[in-house]
Chains A and B, each alone.
Chain A
Amino acid sequence: DIQMTQSPSTLSASVGDRVTITCRASQNINSWLAWYQQKPGKAPQLLIFQASSLQGGVPSRFSGSGSGTEFTLTISSLQPDDFATYYCHQFNSYPLTFGGGTKVEI
């Protein structure tokens, strides 16, 4: 199974900060990676697919990069609505797997 390791697990930040979350895959997953945002009590929402493609309707302050085994999600200027938990997800090979999550808090 491909292990997805996110870091950090918790991130303390302020409004306006530039935030970077890293996701490392235990094997090459090419660009078969997505990023999701989840708020308490809500379903996850897709932010980025194919490692770097912004989902429609997602603010441009979100961006994704990387390929192979190392990926990043960047929020260029953190907004109050962005305090949430973020997950990466590989869909290169079965079983599909998620990272453990990164909680972005004040």
Chain B
Amino acid sequence: EVQLVESGGGLVQPGGSLRLSCTASGFTFSNYWMTWVRQAPGKGLEWMANIKEDGSKRYYMDSVKGRFTISRDNAENSVFLQMNSLRVEDTAVYYCARGFRGGSVGTGYWGQGTLVTVTP
């Protein structure tokens, strides 16, 4: 069974940093693109970043470029999101997701999410 478990969310002040982690199980992690998607309270889904199977390619949405960094450790079956210079508008539930099949950037399986709250 595919499982994705996020951790690392919490309360942080504007300008602060957090590092989110997502640990995967139930599939060969190194065969899949991994993605972070967020959802602000009461709002829709927002694609943020993804990373290729071997970590050689990374893509970001404009508003987080230069502030957020996606990375992965295939030996540990984990993907990370380092978030710096956090803003109030970054408050959201952050989901990690796996490609719906090997080689696909489209997401198929999602974790349950971790809440990040940025407040003065």
- Chain A residues in contact with chain B, CB under 8 A? 32, 34, 36, 38, 42-46, 49-50, 55, 87, 89, 91, 94-101
Nearest neighbor of A100 in chain B, beta-carbon distance: B44
- Chain B residues in contact with chain A, CB under 8 A? 35, 37, 44-47, 50, 59-62, 95, 100, 104-113
Q: Are B110 and A98 in contact (CB under 8 A)?
A: no
Distance, CA A42 to CA B110, complexed state (A) = 10
With A34-B107, A43-B110, A91-B105 as given contacts, are A49 and B45 in contact (CB-CB < 8 Å)?
A: no
* A48 vs chain B, min Cβ distance (A): 10
Q: Are A96 and B50 in contact (CB under 8 A)?
A: yes
Q: Are A87 and B45 in contact (CB under 8 A)?
A: yes
Q: Are A55 and B61 in contact (CB under 8 A)?
A: no
From the candidates B100, B111, B113, name the one contacting A34 in the complex (CB within 8 A).
B100
Q: Which of A32, A45, A55, A94 gathers the greatest number of chain B CB atoms within 10 Å?
A: A94
Q: Are B59 and A46 in contact (CB under 8 A)?
A: no
Distance, CA A34 to CA B106, complexed state (A) = 7
Q: Are B45 and A89 in contact (CB under 8 A)?
A: yes
* B51 vs chain A, min Cβ distance (A): 13
Jot down 22 A-B pairs with beta carbons below 8 A, ordered by A.
Answer: A32-B106, A34-B107, A38-B45, A43-B95, A43-B112, A43-B113, A44-B45, A44-B110, A46-B107, A49-B100, A49-B104, A55-B100, A87-B44, A87-B45, A89-B45, A91-B105, A95-B60, A95-B61, A95-B62, A99-B44, A101-B44, A101-B45
